[in-house]
Amino acid sequence: MVITVYTDRRSSDVADVALRLAHALSAIVAPAGVVLLGPRPHGGADSAVQHAPLAESSSPGDIGALLTDLETRYAAAVVPLAGPPTEQVLAAFDASDRLLLVSDPSVASMRGTQRTLKLCRSLGYDLARTAVVLHDFDDAPIAPTDAALAFKREIFWTLPGRSASPDERDAAYAGLARRLIG
């Protein structure tokens, strides 16, 4: 299974969300393994999650081939992407089984998620393939139910922000991983 974690804004949060999701997935599918694309996170080696490089200069065809290859070798591949929907981003979308569109409560992020949902509809992705994941809505002035109205779709999952306790964050990511696998 290839899972792309995406936000249209450059954000370090998407890398953190992807890393935490990869760890949660590895607890479920340990023997088959989980791979996280992109640079190795700060802090060095990580035995629970494998890492594979993803060069920004990769061609769309290379990205599709890489994700197809990783899907055959691992139970799950997690791809963190941020920024405008380039050809490379769209190639990752095409090769993904699930697209997790991460939105924080900022107006810019919510508008970006709306644009990405519209793009996914225009590309013919079915509703089950794309999912909205809210991040850091803990003390936000907008409630998740209001975000669902703005996106005109159900919120797939809500992840707490940095102010949550480690146990709360771990439980939320474990729940998301179980929902994705189940």
Could you report the per-residue pLDDT of 89-145, keeping only the tens digit for each? Answer: 999 999 999 999 999 999 999 999 999 999 999 999 988 899 999 999 988 888 999
What three-state secondary structure class fits 28?
Answer: helix
Assign residue 171 the CATH number of its domain: 3.40.50.300
* pTM given for the model: 0.91
**Quick one: CA torsion of 65, 67, 70, 72, rounded to 10 degrees?**
-80
- CB under 8 A, 24+ apart: contacts of 39-48: 41/15, 48/23
Our count of domains for the chain comes to: 1
pLDDT at position 52: 81
pLDDT at position 55: 73
Domain span at residue 159 reads: 2-181
CA angle (52, 53, 55) in 5-degree steps = 155
What three-state secondary structure class fits 85?
Answer: coil
pLDDT at position 26: 92
